[in-house]
Structure 1
Amino acid sequence: MEQRSLVSFFDSLSHPIDFSPHRRWVRYRVEDRPLETLIWLGALLRVWVFLDGRPYWMDEGSLSANLRGGPILDFSRPLAGDQLAPFGFLIPERVLVALFGGSVYVTRLIPLVCGIAALGLFRRLAERLMSRSGAIVAMILFAFSDDLIYYSSELKPYSWDLAIGLVVTLVSLGELAVDSSRWRLGLLALVAIGSPWMSFPSVFVVAGCGAVLLAHRLLAGRWRDAARLAAIAGGWAASAVVAYRASSRLLNEATSMYVFWNFAFLPFPPTTRKALSTTSGILLETFVTPLNLVPPFLPYAFAGLAVALLIFGTAALGRRDPAALAILLAPLALALAASALRKYPFHGRLIVWLVPVFFVLIAEGTQTVRGRGGRRLYGAVLAILLVYPCCDAVNESTGRRMRDFNIHGDLRKNQFME
């Protein structure tokens, strides 16, 4: 009996294996449903890093100390460890810790959920604004973003900010595309008025998107819709003021936060040679962190390609859908203005919420190359743009347990700033 089974086994090896079902499955996934496949791959990388359960680093440990040992709604004194986070992030974190304990898996669960949810939200954004091929390029950049993968398993509100920013942008684009309705305006009001309590950088997204929507309605002569949007803006402004004052009490008066982030404020006005150099360095550093499009070698060449694609994509989307482009760029412009006024640092993990804007415009730029430069140039540009960040993200996600931070707490060394 045993001899016969061995004979059957070795006999089977002489016949070719039929891989056609596997080829059909791969073709179905890669050719027919690429965006969904990229979402699954991006989610897998995020879950993989989360399950690794690396120890807290300094900021995470400091913030975690504010989640244990006290009433969930007690914000009567500043947060310990010179930390700051929105109430909408702190309260659910405290609830989870009270229910399930303060392990790294419990406290990082909300960032993980937000990081995975952002994949689906970004897919909707890319499909709304771009062609299928452009959306695939954008989705590859987003799914294999090293920063987005890492911050999906860090006890800080960066992936939370990312998800909320995408929600606000999608709701605004939806309102832009069709006539206003009570249900849609109610949703917009709920998202806008609640956002200052949920995410600090949402103030830029809501203010920028709201200004574009209001201008769009006024230029179209839709006065009733404009009045309703103005009423929502008033409610948001009141909510933002109260949330700002309440959040300010969470920060110790002797905070060193502004000293720490001093390097990330844009000089204003940038009239001197040194100021111009500092400004260009801060802006170019965006392509290193959080975008991770510039490898350690030939930094200016790779940054130059990213800038060119960004310009091409901005011009192309502006010609096709100028209102949608304004929705994307208005929050970016406000964040830059806030940095020049020394109110918000424009750097690294604090602008993770702007990653979707950059990836959409850069991916749109590749479609300009595709249309004007031909297949070979398009393939070369995609290789230069995608190979390094994708390989680096996979390597970092599956290789090292701990990451080496630079002096500013970033995942990579600065390449354009002193």
Structure 2
Amino acid sequence: MEPETTSQTRRSGEPASVAPSRSRPRRRIIASRGESTSTQVTFGPADPRLLNRGVWAFIALGVVVRMLRYAQNLPFWSDECFLAVNFIRRGFLELAGPLDNGQVCPLAFLWIERAAVLAMGFSEWSLRLFPLLCGMTSVVLFERVARRCLSGLSLQAAVAILAVSVHPIRHAAEAKPYASDLLVGLVLLAPAAAWLDHREGPRRLWILFCLLPPAVAVSNPAVFVAGGILVALFWPVWRSGRWKDRGALTCCGLLLLGLFAIFHVGFGGVQSAAALDGLRRYWGPGFPPLEDPLNLPDWMLSALTGSVFAYPGGGARGASAATFIACIAGSVTLIRRGRGAMVVALTAPLGLNLIAAAVQRYPFGPEARLAQYAAPGIVLLAGAGVGSLLETVRRSRLREALIYAGVVGLVACALAPQIMSWRRPYRMLHDREARDFARSFWPEVSRGSVVACAHLDFGLGRPGAWEGRRAWYLCNQAVASPRRRASGGPRLDEVSSDRPLRCVVFDEEPSDPEVIAWLARMRRDFQLRSTRSVPVRSTYGDDLRSIVETWRIYEFTPASLRVADPVAIQGDLER
């Protein structure tokens, strides 16, 4: 059995791959019987200052690449548009109801994004600012959490993997809650790791108690992280024999149950009522085939070697198998060094996710973005695994060559996707085409007129329905239309014969009953002067099929010499 390496030994230049627990009386007794404390294998550079510089170099790299990704200002892609369209016309209270496009999103995240729109306007910059801050904070905080259980090259490997991983970088520049899921996972893990490291007093458990409400409010999968942590802490806290610690952990458990009832059963139930059936079809590959047990092992193997473990890169169909193997090696290493409770804290959230997938409430495996909450645990285990595997390489030159090759590969992993996105600045070609057309169309149609959107300003269409490609139209209009940016909508009191009202209808046939009803309402106060169509060709889908979207411009003038009353028109429309 390998004896405990004290913090003094580590500072003196003998970096250990895994930092041992600081509270292990049994191990101290073994060491006192004469077993040497110098059996740790030293691999790589022996100077801890050099190792520390490497850690901070990768932290800096991680922050920089996230800022670069944000600075590219890529056009909204489908996942962002479907959520972002809800911030155009909804207030804070309205965001608590069912969302358009079948979206399910934590309430606090919705309110933060809405506040960003009110403060800075509706744009890619404002909606992606909070995810960017979450992404950069995660890189820095991860180093503090990792030091609780790793040291030496294992620490450096873990920090480097998180800093350069493709998915955390990408999601730190997207208007979705994936970056905040990762940060919340770290925030909850930090006090738990600190308590497991010291096991002294309930203070850190009460910190965890205070962090639970904002964490669950801003991240839906935070319940997996919190539940896994409480499972991991239960036995060590009970064995401590301190009732203050037991009481604090019990309060954490009761609070988590209450928060689950409020945010998932209550608010989440209302929000997902209309969307859950569609989400279940979309998430289908992430649900275990319980009705076909013979296929369950294949499904499980595919899930555990797929996108969930794509750090620093990887994907479906076993492309992340290397990371999964490294996690197994890291788990074994931590357990052998007396950190079994920490392993449970890192892996139990995935187990709870599997249970949720079994009852078809949350998927496991189809896409890495849905499992960003698990990234800290996976990367910590992978880093410990890399350190333990390097420890088996006895030839120093070969070991150093592997280390330097790994550093070069990790740096390339961070930079290559950013270079590719500069050359191909969009997720789907339709994203760029839709934004480019909106940037030219809305300023042009606004010249000498009052511009309105039939969908946003006059209620054309069904609220709460699936928007489809209209989501791109609405989001890019909110960004590119000068009138909407300046005042949020048209000033109907400015309409005159010299300054007509131009109302835009997106991809709706004039013969549609909803369009006919809308025109009838408009003719109460306006006279239709002209209509023209603008066919817009675009490339849609991964198969790059060509489509045509028709934008129709209806031009109105006042029906009488007096200017139409916008309040009266809006009242008629609402009736």
TM-score normalised according to structure 1 size = 0.82
Aligned to 1:9: none
Letter in 2 for 1:334: L
- Contact preservation (8 Å) 2:201, 2:245: no
1:390, CA displacement in angstroms?
A: 4.2
Q: Distance in 2 between matches of 1:239 and 1:120?
A: 28
Q: Distance in 1 between matches of 2:292 and 2:411?
A: 35
Larger strand share, 1 or 2: 2
Aligned to 1:309: 326
| CA 210–178 in structure 1, closer or farther in 2 if over 3 Å, else same | same
Is residue 2:242 matched to residue 1:214?
Answer: no
Tell which structure's C-alpha radius of gyration is larger. 2
Aligned to 2:85: 65
Is residue 2:285 matched to residue 1:263?
Answer: yes
Q: How does 1:32-47 map to 2 (within 5 A)?
A: 33-47=53-67
Is residue 2:129 matched to residue 1:129?
Answer: no
- Contact preservation (8 Å) 1:46, 1:152: yes
Alpha-carbon displacement from aligned partner over 1:82-122 (angstroms, at most 9, x marks no partner) = 11110111111101101110110000000000000000111
Alignment partner for residue 427 of structure 2, among 384, 395, 403? 403
What is the SS of the residue equivalent to 1:208?
A: helix
Is residue 2:390 matched to residue 1:370?
Answer: yes
Aligned to 1:318: 335
Letter in 2 for 1:398: I
Alpha-carbon displacement from aligned partner over 1:304-329 (angstroms, at most 9, x marks no partner) = 54333222111011121122222212
Is residue 2:137 matched to residue 1:117?
Answer: yes
Aligned to 1:332: 350
Alignment partner for residue 159 of structure 1, among 155, 171, 179? 179
Q: How does 1:11-410 map to 2 (within 5 A)?
A: 33-75=53-95, 77-179=97-199, 181=201, 183-244=203-264, 245-255=266-276, 256-268=278-290, 271-272=293-294, 274-286=295-307, 290-294=310-314, 303-320=320-337, 321-347=339-365, 348-374=368-394, 375=396, 378=399, 390-400=411-421, 401-403=425-427
- Contact preservation (8 Å) 2:148, 2:194: no
Q: Distance in 2 between matches of 1:270 and 1:119?
A: 41
Q: Distance in 2 between matches of 1:344 and 1:201?
A: 9
Alpha-carbon displacement from aligned partner over 1:30-58 (angstroms, at most 9, x marks no partner) = 66522222111111100011011111001
| CA 305–188 in structure 1, closer or farther in 2 if over 3 Å, else same | closer
What is the SS of the residue equivalent to 1:56?
A: coil
1:73, CA displacement in angstroms?
A: 3.1
- Contact preservation (8 Å) 1:108, 1:153: yes
- Contact preservation (8 Å) 1:30, 1:37: no
**Structure 1: 5+ residue runs without aligned partners?**
1-26, 406-412, 414-418
TM-score normalised according to structure 2 size = 0.60
1:81, CA displacement in angstroms?
A: 1.3
Q: Once superposed, what is the RMSD of the aligned Cα atoms?
A: 2.8
Q: Distance in 1 between matches of 2:405 and 2:280?
A: 37
Q: Distance in 2 between matches of 1:359 and 1:136?
A: 11
1:337, CA displacement in angstroms?
A: 2.2
Q: Distance in 2 between matches of 1:285 and 1:261?
A: 15
- Contact preservation (8 Å) 1:290, 1:349: no
- Worse-superposed segment, 367-376 or 119-128: 367-376
1:169, CA displacement in angstroms?
A: 0.5
Q: Distance in 2 between matches of 1:28 and 1:318?
A: 24
1:402, CA displacement in angstroms?
A: 1.6
| CA 38–107 in structure 1, closer or farther in 2 if over 3 Å, else same | same
If asked which structure has higher relative contact order (CA below 8 Å, sep 6+), I would say 1
| CA 260–295 in structure 1, closer or farther in 2 if over 3 Å, else same | closer
- Contact preservation (8 Å) 1:72, 1:91: yes
- Worse-superposed segment, 357-366 or 112-121: 357-366
What is the SS of the residue equivalent to 1:153?
A: coil
Aligned to 1:17: none
Aligned to 2:495: none
Q: Identity over the aligned pairs, expressed in percent?
A: 26
Q: Distance in 1 between matches of 2:288 and 2:409?
A: 29
- Worse-superposed segment, 76-85 or 29-38: 29-38
Q: Distance in 1 between matches of 2:362 and 2:243?
A: 34
1:382, CA displacement in angstroms?
A: 5.0
- Contact preservation (8 Å) 1:122, 1:356: yes
1:76, CA displacement in angstroms?
A: 5.2
| CA 203–377 in structure 1, closer or farther in 2 if over 3 Å, else same | farther
1:187, CA displacement in angstroms?
A: 1.9
- Contact preservation (8 Å) 2:51, 2:153: no
Q: Distance in 2 between matches of 1:212 and 1:249?
A: 31
**Structure 2: 5+ residue runs without aligned partners?**
1-46, 430-541, 543-575
Alpha-carbon displacement from aligned partner over 1:48-75 (angstroms, at most 9, x marks no partner) = 1101111100110111111122322333
1:295, CA displacement in angstroms?
A: 8.3
| CA 201–118 in structure 1, closer or farther in 2 if over 3 Å, else same | same
| CA 383–82 in structure 1, closer or farther in 2 if over 3 Å, else same | farther
Q: Distance in 1 between matches of 2:336 and 2:374?
A: 22
Query: Aligned residue pairs: how many?
Result: 375
| CA 384–271 in structure 1, closer or farther in 2 if over 3 Å, else same | farther
- Contact preservation (8 Å) 1:270, 1:279: no
| CA 295–168 in structure 1, closer or farther in 2 if over 3 Å, else same | closer
Aligned to 2:532: none
Q: Distance in 2 between matches of 1:337 and 1:223?
A: 31
- Contact preservation (8 Å) 1:312, 1:364: yes
1:285, CA displacement in angstroms?
A: 0.9
- Contact preservation (8 Å) 2:86, 2:95: no
| CA 140–338 in structure 1, closer or farther in 2 if over 3 Å, else same | same
Q: Distance in 2 between matches of 1:258 and 1:339?
A: 10
Larger helix share, 1 or 2: 1
1:199, CA displacement in angstroms?
A: 0.9
- Contact preservation (8 Å) 2:305, 2:321: no
Q: Distance in 2 between matches of 1:354 and 1:191?
A: 18
